[in-house]
Structure 1
Amino acid sequence: MLKFTSSEIRDLFIAFVVISLCFGIANTGRDMAALMAILPMIMVGVGLGFILHELGHKFVSMKYGYWAEFKLWPQGLIFALITSFFGFVFAAPGAVYTYANYMTDEINGKISVAGPVVNIVLAALFFIVATLVYRSAFTSQTSLLIYQICALGYSINSFLAVFNLLPIGNLDGSKVLRWNVGIWIVTIAIAGIMTALPMTMGFEIMVRTVLGF
C-alpha cells in the first residue's frame, strides 16, 4: 500500500500547481485571459501525468520493499517557470527518492521506466477518448470540452514521457539505458513518435485518420 508523508503531499501539490502554470504559459505566452481559460484543462493533463508518473516510481520502489518519497526541487521549478516563457517546459520539479543501501541496475531501471510508461499509457488513453467523442464534439459543448482536454492531455503526457527518457543527468532515461538498451530504445521511440505526430500532422488529423475521415 502506498504511504505518504505530509511533506511529500505538500511537495506534490506545489509541483503540480507550478508545472501546470508552466505548461499554461508555454501554450499561451503572456496572454493572461488565454492562460486562465486553458489552465483548468491543462491541470487535468498535468495532474494525471505528473502525479501518476511519480506514483509509478513510488509504487515499483515499494513493490521491491524500498521506502520511496517525492521531494521538491525548488531550482527545477524556477527553471521550468523561466523556460515556459520561451515556449517549452524543462519539467524537473522534483523526483521520487528511493532509499536503499544497495540497488541493482535492473531494479533501478524498472523503477525509472515506470514513470514514462505511465505517461505513454495516459497519452494513449487520452487519444482513445478524444477519438470516441470527436463526432459529438461538433454538436455538444461537453464533448468539445472533453476533446480539448484530451488533446492537451495527450500532448503533455507524450512530452513528459519523451523528456524523462532523455539519457541526460539524473533523468529516468539514464537509468533505463544503463539497465537495458533495448527497452530504452523502444520506450523513447514510442514516446518520440507520439510527441512528434501532433507537431507534424496535427492532433485533429490524427483523430480523423483513425476514424477514416
Structure 2
Amino acid sequence: MFKVTTSEIRDLIIAFIFISLSFSILYSGRNVALLRSIFPVVMIGLGLGFVLHELGHKFASMHYGYWAEFKLWPTGLIFALISSFFGFVFAAPGAVYTYAGSYLDDRTNGIISIAGPVVNIVLALVFLLIGAAIYVPAHYNTTMQFIFIVCNLGFSTNSYLAVFNLIPIWNLDGSKVMRWNIGIWIVTIAIAGIMTYFSMTMGAENLIRMIIGL
C-alpha cells in the first residue's frame, strides 16, 4: 500500500519549490520580470518531473516490500540555487531513502534506482507528443500556446534530469544502475542523452516540426 508521511510531503513541496525556482533563475537569466512569468511554466514542466521522479523510486521500493521516504538534502538545495547563477543547476535537493535493513542486492537496488530516470524519459516523450498534437492550434489559442510552452520546457528539462541522474558518480542513480547491469545503463543513458542533445541543438519546437512534417 502506498503511504506518505507528513514530513515527506513537506520535504517534497520544499524541494519542488526550490528546484523550480533554481531552473527559473537559470532560464530567465536572473531577469526578475521574466522569472515571474516563467516560474509557473517551470513548476509544471520541470517541477512535476522532479516529484514524479522521486515517486518513481518510492513506488519501486514499495513494490519490493521496502519502506521508502523522500528526505531533503539542505546542502543540495543551496547548491541548486547557487549553481543556477552560474549557468547550470546542480539538481540534487533530496532523495528517496529505501529502508531495506542490512542488505539490498544490486539487482533490486538497480531497478529502484532506474525507476526515477525512466519516469523522466517517459514524461519527456509525453510532453513531446502533446506538444506535437497541439502545435498548430497553439498558433491561434493562448491556452494552447501556454500548454505548448510547458511541453517544450518539459521535454528539455526532463531529458536533462534523466541524463543528470544517470551519471555514474557519487550516489546518483547511474552508479547503482551500472553496478546492476551496465548494458541497461548504456541503453537508458543513450536514450536520455540523445533526447537531451536534440533539445540543446535543435530545440523541442524544431524537433516537433520535424515529427509532424512541417
Q: Does the TM-score normalized on the shorter chain lie above 0.5?
A: yes
Q: Do structure 1's residue 21 and structure 2's residue 12 form an aligned pair?
A: no
CA distance in 2, matches of 1:202, 1:123: 13
SS of the aligned residue for 2:90 comes to coil
User: Which amino acid in structure 2 is aligned with residue 190 of structure 1?
Assistant: I
SS of the aligned residue for 1:4 comes to coil
Following superposition, the deviation at residue 156 of structure 1 comes to 1.1
Contact map agreement 1:123 1:153 (CA 8 A) in 2:
yes
Cα offsets for 1:120-149 (capped at 9, x unmatched): 000000000000000111111111111001
SS of the aligned residue for 1:92 comes to coil
User: Which amino acid in structure 1 is aligned with residue 125 of structure 2?
Assistant: A
Q: Pairwise mapping of residues 96-175 of structure 1 onto structure 2 (< 5 A)?
A: 96-101=96-101, 102-175=103-176
SS of the aligned residue for 1:145 comes to helix
CA RMSD of aligned residues (A): 0.7
User: Which amino acid in structure 2 is aligned with residue 11 of structure 1?
Assistant: D
Match of 1:58? 58
CA distance in 1, matches of 2:65, 2:154: 32
Cα offsets for 1:14-57 (capped at 9, x unmatched): 00000000000010122000000000010002232011100100
Q: Do structure 1's residue 87 and structure 2's residue 90 form an aligned pair?
A: no
Cα offsets for 1:84-110 (capped at 9, x unmatched): 011211100010000112110000000
Q: For structure 2, list consecutive stretches of 5 or more residues without a partner in the other structure.
A: none
Contact map agreement 1:58 1:68 (CA 8 A) in 2:
yes
User: Which amino acid in structure 2 is aligned with residue 123 of structure 1?
Assistant: A
Aligned-residue sequence identity (percent) comes to: 66
User: Which amino acid in structure 2 is aligned with residue 152 of structure 1?
Assistant: L
Q: Give the TM-score normalised by structure 1.
A: 0.98
CA distance in 1, matches of 2:50, 2:140: 32
Q: For structure 1, list consecutive stretches of 5 or more residues without a partner in the other structure.
A: none
Runs of 4+ that moved beyond 6 A: none
User: Which amino acid in structure 2 is aligned with residue 193 of structure 1?
Assistant: I
Q: Give the TM-score normalised by structure 2.
A: 0.98
Cα offsets for 1:52-84 (capped at 9, x unmatched): 100100001011010100000000010011100
Contact map agreement 2:46 2:153 (CA 8 A) in 1:
no
CA distance in 2, matches of 1:180, 1:56: 19
Count of aligned residue pairs for this structure pair:
213
